[in-house]
Structure 1
């Protein structure tokens, strides 16, 4: 089983497609080398292909979600936003436990930037995660609008940039490709 001598903090951000896909690619590579990977998805509650794929790699790759199914953030009423914030805080507390108990080699916090951007988490909460991360654990953070404070703390930052996208021609998100 491969073991990381040194774990780094990586960020996949930007408006372009591929942030979660890049994190998943890293996850499948790591699992193939015998590492344990945990992905916690924020602001995702609908069916996605990665949920099915991860089942083939359990127990070395697990995806966790804490939110019940509901619409996009901008469609929610105040009560639904409060419920969502509570679910996101539950996910955050799970992440703290994963880190403190070193339950994996690679921890992916998918769309955590969106949780920050939508005021469900504070930037300082995520910098706290970086501070308590074991030296031999890799931490991957994804999502648009990465805050400057996190970019400064990261060891690797990749920005996905739209140059051309078929969405502009009216193509909707496709099962197996975008989700």
Structure 2
């Protein structure tokens, strides 16, 4: 790709990660090298199995937690912040050296909301990306500074969701 853009998938509706995965599979099918980074996901998900089927998609997890952030103790949250800072610094160096055409930062907005990363860190990363790198960011509540950098912003709006009637995440559908 000559020019890579910054895409943002946000909103209260379901489908942000699913859309990012669809793009990853499409890009991989065309021979692009995809790096798929998930933030705040510590449980096993179906996408892990699907991604394994593509040699040109690499999956990484940063800020990996077995519980939802707000269910962690203060000490666990602080430890996760330190871990994420270390992982982010290593990842930024890693991505500079890799053959990567498409980078997906799944649920990075959650990492920002929970102050695991700062807006400045993410904006600096976006501002200094290689020209040809396509970046997709997902998650709710996109800060204004990140929105300003987005070339494409898609908002998923919830009209109705079975979660509101007590249905939890289902294997193969949401996880």
Shorter-chain TM-score bucket reads: over 0.9
Any conservation in 1 of the 2:39–2:64 contact (CA below 8 Å)? no
Any conservation in 2 of the 1:12–1:141 contact (CA below 8 Å)? yes
Report the TM-score, using the length of structure 2 for normalisation.
0.95
Residue 18 (structure 1) aligned with residue 15 (structure 2): yes
Distance 1:56 1:18 in 2: 22
Which of 8, 26, 29 is 1:32 aligned to?
29
The 3-state SS of whatever aligns with 2:123 is: helix
2:134 is matched with 138
Provide the aligned C-alpha RMSD in A: 1.3
Which of 6, 11, 27 is 1:9 aligned to?
6
Report the TM-score, using the length of structure 1 for normalisation.
0.93
Which of 41, 46, 50 is 1:44 aligned to?
41
Distance 1:68 1:12 in 2: 21
Distance 2:107 2:60 in 1: 13
2:158 is matched with 162
Distance 1:150 1:89 in 2: 19
Any conservation in 1 of the 2:63–2:81 contact (CA below 8 Å)? no
- Which segments of 5 or more consecutive residues in structure 1 lack a partner in the other structure? none
The Cα offsets for residues 112-151 of structure 1, whole Å up to 9 and x where unpaired, read as 1000001111101110111111000001111111111111
Distance 1:66 1:13 in 2: 19
The 3-state SS of whatever aligns with 1:144 is: coil
Which of 101, 107, 119 is 1:105 aligned to?
101
Residue 177 (structure 1) aligned with residue 162 (structure 2): no
Q: How many residues align?
A: 175
Question: More deviation in 100-109 or 83-92?
Answer: 83-92
Any conservation in 2 of the 1:99–1:133 contact (CA below 8 Å)? no
Distance 1:145 1:90 in 2: 24
Residue 69 of structure 1: how far off its partner (Å): 4.2
